[in-house]
């Protein structure tokens, strides 16, 4: 189990580094803090919710949309590199093992 947790931590670090290259990070804060940071970075803007005066909505800015596309591409590329590093046999074995551990 500790090996699995260590591997998960290492993989998270690789994915974090991948999105860091485009100025983003994986979500690790509460929602208000996260939206505050994204707004400061010009990636989202807040707007009133027309259906509920108590609510505020966050929407992507054009820069936020570009960052989302870039981050998605960076994550896809890093995930492919991780799987390619395993080779097809070990990758299939890992998928089976994770399904068993996940109970599916």
And the tokens for 94?
Answer: 């890992």
Q: What is the pLDDT of residue 83?
A: 85
The answer to whether domain 2-102 has CATH 3.30.43.10 is: no
* Cβ within 8 Å of residue 48, ≥6 positions away: 55, 56, 57
CA 13 – CA 10 distance, rounded (Å):
5
Q: What whole-number distance in Å separates Cα of residue 36 and Cα of residue 22?
A: 18
Distance of CA 66 to CAs 11, 58, 69, 73, Å?
A: 24, 16, 5, 11
| pLDDT score at 2 | 79
Instruction: State the Cα angle at 36 between 31 and 42, rounded to 5°.
Output: 125
Query: Could you tell me the residue ranges of all domains in the chain?
Result: 2-102
| pLDDT tens-place string over residues 27-39 | 777 888 889 999 9
Q: Who wins on pLDDT, 2 or 18?
A: 18
pTM of the model: 0.71
pLDDT at residue 5, as a whole number: 84
């Amino acid at each position: 189990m500790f090996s699995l947790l260590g591997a998960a931590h290492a993989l998270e670090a690789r994915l974090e580094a991948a999105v860091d290259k485009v100025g983003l990070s994986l979500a690790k804060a509460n929602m208000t803090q996260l939206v505050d940071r994204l707004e400061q970075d010009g990636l989202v803007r807040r707007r009133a919710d027309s259906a509920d005066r108590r609510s505020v909505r966050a929407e992507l800015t054009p820069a936020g949309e570009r960052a989302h596309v870039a981050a998605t591409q960076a994550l896809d590329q890093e995930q492919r590199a991780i799987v390619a590093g395993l080779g097809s046999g070990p990758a299939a074995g890992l998928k089976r093992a994770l399904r068993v551990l996940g109970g599916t």
